[in-house]
Structure 1
Amino acid sequence: MSTTTGTTDVVRVTVGVPTFRRPDDLRALLPLLLEQAAELGVPGGRYAVDVLVVDNDPAGSAAATVAEFPVPQLRYAAEPRPGIAAVRNRALDEAAGSQLLAMIDDDELPLPGWLDNLVRTWEETRPAAVSGRVLAAFQEELDPWVAAGEFFRRRSLPTGTEVGTAAAGNLMLDVQQVRERGLRFETGLGLSGGEDTLFSRALVRTGGRIVWCDESAAVDQVPAQRMTRRWVLTRAWSHGNASMLTDLRLAGGPTARTALRVRGAGRGLLRLCGGALRWAWGTAGRSHRHQARGLRTSLRGAGMLCAVLGIVYLEYARPGERRLRLAGARLPAAPTAGAPGTTAVTA
């Protein structure tokens, strides 16, 4: 919320950083965030900015890294419940006294003007959320096959474009508008991913606007272990799985959900077969692009089919935990405009 000092409305902004056992990444990120916070939150100015680190490690390993930067603008919170959704909800709770919550992942680095551009875009149109651009930076040379498949390509849109969904790795929320709609990140998706897709689609469904800001860019530091063919293809399967599960959660009821399962099965099968044909064409013609794009489409379709059957892939499962499980039978619908509720559903 805004507070008043004299005749100046002070907009409080919290920058939230979810983290889990990435001390080196966090150590590189925090100075950049604190610098941008200081630039926007000048004393006596319109904005008051703080940086919040939410640590999902039960051992609290990020506390020592945060302690290396002893400034009042930096806060630390430990969230023991596993999963990125629980961390994002904790950030929302910790930002209860702020008008805006800007989220950036701990393996990303903001480019100059990242925070300022998010806030300026919000000031111009007052949407419920502002989504920024994410660029990929690779630790080593990318496999030509993976590069040809454009697995790491992210969208770029004119600033001011309204979008229907957004990733939370570079996203700023109007906390008051989110609270008015009763929205939370679904903790049942904390280990499978897709919690930001469900949240952002529910935000739009309840009348909130998400506006794109192309000038607000963050760089995703892609480690070598994520640059392999196996990882990107597994990711394609996971995205198809999460996308279909999100559609099912947003369906209006049992009848609509059954119809969606039938349509989803058809779409998934079409992608599976069409992608396989493109892969075969690429193999015959020795085309990296057709091989990679074909397998990407095929695996995404397979993920959709598994979701229709109730199979959930836990992309962020901790070591020793199962990667696959069956979804529960109950999938309550997300709230609709005029009826604030919660996106929390049983996965």
Structure 2
Amino acid sequence: MHSETPAGATGRQPATSLVVAMLTFRRPDDLRVALPALIEQAEQVIERFERVEVLVVDNDPQESARAFVEAFPSAGPVVLTYRCESESGITAARNRALAEAAASDLLVFIDDDERPTERWLVDLVATFDRGDAVAVVGPVVSRFEREPSAWIQAGEFFTRRRMPTGTAVSVAATNNLLIDLRVVRGLGLVFDTAFGHAGGEDTMFTRTLHATGGRLVWCDEAVVWDIVPAARSTRDWVVRRAFSSGNSWSQTSIALEDSLRGRLTARVRCIAKGLVRAAGGAVRSAVGLVTRSLRHRAKGVRTLARGFGMIAGAVGYSYEEYRRVDA
């Protein structure tokens, strides 16, 4: 069956190996659910590739996930690998996954607090095979341990984009992403360590991939469920996340420029856009207060927070959303 592997519309060499990488950090309950699901997903595409591997990258220096992963029952033809990345930060963990998958053609990223739908991996691979994309992006849909408040729902803080399969995109998160490692290696592309604790490393990575001519496409069928803990269903958390999103967008926009003039122009542009967003968000929130519209109040605050984040990022402030103190 391997000889029938599609080569894609551009005549590129067919991909013969795939790694599914899951990053984890002290989430044993999530790991117990997520790992069997990933093995099952990998088994669905085993006939498509010569080699399929599930890679668990543990970002805990104490290797808290090792015992569970290494004691996991044999995955049959699917290779199961455990690796510890002791350097703190999401960027270090993602780069470790890149390094461990260095001999493979394709790499898929998913997080330990996500659950793939029935044909998630099959659909990602099928979309890759149908065209000339260097990356395939799937949607992430939130499910909640505790239903968020009416204010959070009205502000659509957890609503993410959806679009028809095959739609070209210019940026993506790495919590549901397939990438062609052959292209990535050719570019010498890795996750920028400057975003180690701030987040935005995936934005920088995919924007760089796109800027160098890579085609990123959407696969709307390849859904993963994002399991949102109660601690994140709060006003404080969602507003800080909106700020963080704007903050990382400005930082990546500046970092993508390769000249002093370009970076200065990007700073000015991000400040201007941030001011427009902040002002618009403030007005919308005020209108919501006057009209008693929960939707306008919440969406106004969301836009205001993102605008402030853009301004802060443009003037050099980095909001380190993922900084932690290891026990």
TM-score (ref. length: structure 1): 0.87
Letter in 2 for 1:243: W
Contact 1:10 1:47 (C-alpha < 8 Å) held by counterparts = no
1:220 to 2:226 alignment: yes
> Is the contact between residue 40 and residue 47 of structure 1 (CA under 8 Å) also seen in structure 2?
no
What secondary structure is seen at the aligned counterpart in 1 of 2:179?
strand
Is 2:305 the partner of 1:314?
A: no
How far, CA to CA, are the matches of 1:95 and 1:320 in structure 2?
27
> 39, 42, 45: which one pairs with 1:40?
45
Name the CA distance, whole Å, in 1 between partners of 2:148 and 2:2. 52
Aligned to 2:121: 115
Equivalences for 1:133-212 in 2 at 5 Å? 133-212=139-218
One-letter amino acid of the structure 1 residue matched with residue 21 of structure 2: G
Among residues 66, 69, 72, which one is paired with 1:69 in the alignment?
72
RMSD over equivalenced CA pairs, Å: 1.8
Query: SS at the partner of 1:299?
Result: helix
Q: Give the aligned partner of residue 273 of structure 1.
A: 279
* Letter matched to residue 52 of structure 1: L
Name the structure 1 match of 2:54. Answer: 51
Equivalent residue of 1:274, what SS? helix
Task: Give the corresponding residue for 2:259.
Answer: 253
Indicate the SS of the match to 2:296.
Answer: helix
Aligned partners of 1:144, 1:70: CA distance in 2, in Å?
Answer: 43
Which whole-Å CA distance do the structure 2 matches of 1:148 and 1:222 have between them?
17
Provide Cα deviations, 1:136-157, integer angstroms capped at 9, x if missing partner. 1011222000000000011111
- The answer as to 2:235 corresponding to 1:244 is no
Distance 2:245 2:139 in 1: 19
Q: Which amino acid aligns with 1:53?
A: V
The answer to which of 246-255 and 216-225 deviates more is 246-255
- Between the two proteins, the alignment pairs up a number of residues equal to 316
1:80 aligned onto 2:83: no
- The list of structure 1 runs, each at least 4 consecutive aligned residues, that deviate by more than 3 angstroms after superposition, is 4-10
Query: What residue ranges of structure 2 are gaps of 5+ in the alignment?
Result: 6-13
Looking at structure 1, the residues matched to 3 and 266 of structure 2 have their Cα atoms a distance apart, in angstroms, of 55
Deviation at 1:298, TM superposition (A): 0.7
More deviation, 253-262/66-75: 66-75
- 158-167 or 66-75: which moved more? 66-75
SS for the counterpart of 1:117 is helix
Shift of 1:47: 4.5
Matched, 1:27 2:29: no
For 2:300 and 2:89, locate their aligned partners in 1 and report how far apart those are by CA, in whole Å: 31
Q: Which moved more, 1:88-97 or 1:167-176?
A: 88-97
Matched residues in 1 for 2:132 and 2:253: separation?
27
Instruction: Return the offset for 1:228.
Output: 0.4
The alignment's TM-score, normalised by the length of structure 2, stands at 0.92
Deviation at 1:260, TM superposition (A): 2.0
Post-superposition shift, 1:95? 0.9
Matched position secondary structure for 1:140: coil
Distance 2:15 2:158 in 1: 38
Q: Which amino acid aligns with 2:54?
A: V
Change in Cα spacing, 1:176 to 1:60, as seen in structure 2 (3 Å) is: same
Could you tell me how far 1:103 is from its partner in structure 2?
Answer: 0.7
Instruction: Report if aligned partners of 1:273, 1:298 keep a CA contact under 8 Å in 2.
Output: yes
Once residues 106 and 30 of structure 1 are traced to their aligned partners in structure 2, the CA distance between those partners, rounded to angstroms, is 8
Contact 2:21–2:55 (Cα < 8 Å) also in 1: yes
Q: Which has the higher strand share?
A: 1
**Of residues 90, 94, 100 in structure 2, which corresponds to 1:94?**
100
**Unaligned segments of structure 1, at least 5 residues:** 322-347
Q: Deviations over 1:243-262 (max 9, x none)?
A: 00010001231112112222
The separation in 1 between residues aligned to 2:91 and 2:272, in whole angstroms, is: 30
Give the Cα–Cα distance (whole angstroms) in 1 for the partners of residues 103 and 243 of structure 2. Answer: 39
Once the two structures are superposed, residues 39-64 of structure 1 have per-residue CA deviations (whole angstroms, 9 ceiling, x without a partner) of 2114xx54431100001000001112
